[in-house]
Amino acid sequence: MYDVVIIGAGVSGSASARELSKYNLSICVVEKEEDVCCGTSKANSAIVHSGIDCKTGTLMAQMNLRGNEMMDELSKKLDFEFRRNGSLIVCFSDDDMPRLKELYNQGIANGVPGLEILDAGEAHEM
């Protein structure tokens, strides 16, 4: 008999099992593939979400921010490569600017660090 049974050893299942292993629990992870992260996790985009696009004040916004903050320490502890290479949201016309500013303000309200709006010249210099 297990205290917790986790279905799937992808990123979410494996991370859940790791976190739960810190407690006095009997845990079973059930995976249909031959190894961890062989399904959807293997083909994901590898983006660690910042929380910029989450509705302010929601649990999702809080968890995106906290999960993002944890990645540097976790990559050192578990010895995997992790780079903070940033993200660029591009406007193709002036009509896109209100939505960009909305995302920027939402990100600031959510506590996302390092946000800035660049003009075309600044973006090209990157």
Phi and psi at residue 85, to the nearest 5°? -100, 0
**pLDDT of 27 strictly over 90:** yes
CA 98 to chain centre: 25
- The token pair that represents 10 in the structure block: 């992808």
Q: At what angle do helices 59-78 and 97-110 cross, to 10 degrees?
A: 70
Which residue type does 92 have? F
Task: Report the C-alpha dihedral over residues 16, 19, 25, 29, rounded to 10 degrees.
Answer: 30
Phi and psi at residue 21, to the nearest 5°? -65, -15
* Span 104-114, pLDDT tens digits: 999 999 999 99
**pLDDT of 38 strictly over 90:** no
The mean per-residue pLDDT over the stretch 97-106 comes to: 96
Q: Catalogue the active-site residues.
A: 49
* Span 41-84, pLDDT tens digits: 777 777 888 999 999 999 999 999 999 999 999 999 999 899 99
Predicted confidence at residue 45, as pLDDT, reads 79
